[in-house]
Amino acid sequence: MKKRILIIGACGQIGTELTLYLREKFGKHKVIASDIREGDKPLMKSGPFEILDATNYDEVEEVVIRHEITDVYLMAAMLSATAEKFPMKGWNLNMDSLFNVLKLAKEKKIEKLFWPSSIAVFGPTTPKNDTPQRTVMEPSTVYGISKQTGERWCEYYFNRYGVDVRSIRYPGLISYKTLPGGGTTDYAVDIYHKALKHKKYICFLNSETTLPMMFMDDAIRATVSIMEADREDIKVRSSYNLSGMSFDPEEITASIKKHIPKFEISYEPDFRQPIADSWPQSIDDSEARKDWGWESKISLDEMTEIMLTNLKDKYQ
Q: Which residues are catalytic?
A: 143
Say whether residue 118 binds ligand SER (CB under 6 A): yes
Query: Could you give the angle at which helices 300-311 and 249-257 cross, rounded to 10 degrees?
Result: 60
> Could you tell me the smallest distance in angstroms from the CB atom of residue 67 to ligand SER?
29
Query: Could you give the angle at which helices 57-66 and 87-106 cross, rounded to 10 degrees?
Result: 40
Number of residues that bind ligand SER (CB under 6 A): 11
CB nearest ligand SER: which residue? 183
Neighbouring C-beta atoms of residue 65, cutoff 10 Å: 12
Say whether residue 75 binds ligand SER (CB under 6 A): no
> Could you tell me the smallest distance in angstroms from the CB atom of residue 41 to ligand SER?
25
Say whether residue 73 binds ligand SER (CB under 6 A): no
**Residue nearer to ligand SER on the CB measure, 183 or 244:** 183
Neighbouring C-beta atoms of residue 273, cutoff 10 Å: 16
Piece of 26-34, 112-120, 215-223, 255-263 that binds ligand SER (CB under 6 A):
112-120
Say whether residue 80 binds ligand SER (CB under 6 A): yes
> Could you tell me the smallest distance in angstroms from the CB atom of residue 118 to ligand SER?
3
Say whether residue 145 binds ligand SER (CB under 6 A): no
Residue from 19, 167, 175, 185 touching ligand SER (CB under 6 A): that is 185
Say whether residue 247 binds ligand SER (CB under 6 A): no
Say whether residue 120 binds ligand SER (CB under 6 A): yes
**Residue nearer to ligand SER on the CB measure, 55 or 184:** 184
CA-wise closest residue to 98 among 153, 18, 59, 41 = 153
- The CA distance from 120 to 143, in Å, is 7
Residue from 183, 244, 249, 280 touching ligand SER (CB under 6 A): that is 183
User: By the 8 A CB rule, do 8 and 35 touch?
Assistant: yes
Say whether residue 278 binds ligand SER (CB under 6 A): no
> Could you tell me the smallest distance in angstroms from the CB atom of residue 173 to ligand SER?
6
Residue from 79, 142, 205, 298 touching ligand SER (CB under 6 A): that is 79
- Residue numbers at the binding site for ligand SER (CB under 6 A): 79-80, 118-120, 143, 170, 172, 183-185
